[in-house]
Amino acid sequence: MSYVYDTDNIFARILRGEIPNTTVLETDHTLAFRDISPQAPDHVLVIPKGAYVCFDHFASDATDAEIVDFTRTAGEICRLLGVAPSDGDGYRLIANSGRNGVQDVPHYHLHILAGRPLGRMVQPG
Ligand code: DGP
């Protein structure tokens, strides 16, 4: 498996500070910010700071420290938003990947969607 990372993609530019974002949480390896086109009352994007194209690229090539940091940051955001099922109404995580996954930005990102009932997981094709 090999991926070519486009260093001019929009999230790379956000990470370089060339485009503003509404940051929710930032750590050594991870940045989380509000989606510009929210599909739910809460719509946060979680991205690694490293150059990974999609989920499987991140899963295979990221360091353990990056993966742990990313996962814990995503969980922390669910708690910050008050949507963890332990004390809130829940959420959905989505990682669109490639053509069939309809991934628009080729930098791995996790969508956290919450704040309303989100319907069935996948719409009929
Ligand atoms: P995907 O289809 O999974 O690649 O989703 C890309 C998401 O990125 C989409 O929900 C809109 C969001 N997005 C695109 N450009 C920007 C931007 O400049 N700023 C922010 N905050 N979000 C963006």
- Write the CATH number for 107: 3.30.428.10
Q: Has residue 121 been placed in a domain?
A: no
Q: Has residue 51 been placed in a domain?
A: yes
Tally of structural domains, the chain: 1
Look over the chain and give the mean of its residue pLDDT values, rounded to a whole number: 97
What is the rounded CA–CA span in Å between residue 9 and residue 114? 26
Helix ranges (H only) for the chain are 10-15, 55-61, 64-81
Q: Has residue 123 been placed in a domain?
A: no
| 67 pLDDT tier (thresholds 50, 70, 90) | very high
What's the confidence (pLDDT) of residue 123? Answer: 82
Q: Using the predicted structure, report yes or no on whether residue 97 has a pLDDT greater than 70.
A: yes
pLDDT, one tens digit per residue, over 33-57 is 999 999 999 999 999 999 999 999 9
Does residue 104's CB lie within 6 angstroms of at least one atom of ligand 1?
yes
In 3D space, the residue among 61, 47, 51, 50 whose CA is nearest the CA of residue 1 turns out to be: 61
Atom of ligand 1 nearest to the CA of 39: 10
Percentage of residues in the chain with pLDDT exceeding 70? 98
Q: Has residue 3 been placed in a domain?
A: no
**CA-angle at 110, arms to 102 and 125, nearest 5°:** 30
Q: Has residue 67 been placed in a domain?
A: yes
Q: Has residue 1 been placed in a domain?
A: no
Adjacent-strand bridge partners of 46: 32, 110
Give the domain range for residue 89: 10-114
- Compute the distance from residue 102 Cα to the ligand 1 centre, in Å: 12
Q: Has residue 85 been placed in a domain?
A: yes
Adjacent-strand bridge partners of 33: 23, 45
Contacts of 109 (CB under 8 A, 6+ apart): 11, 45, 46, 47, 95
pTM of the shown model: 0.97
| 124 pLDDT tier (thresholds 50, 70, 90) | confident
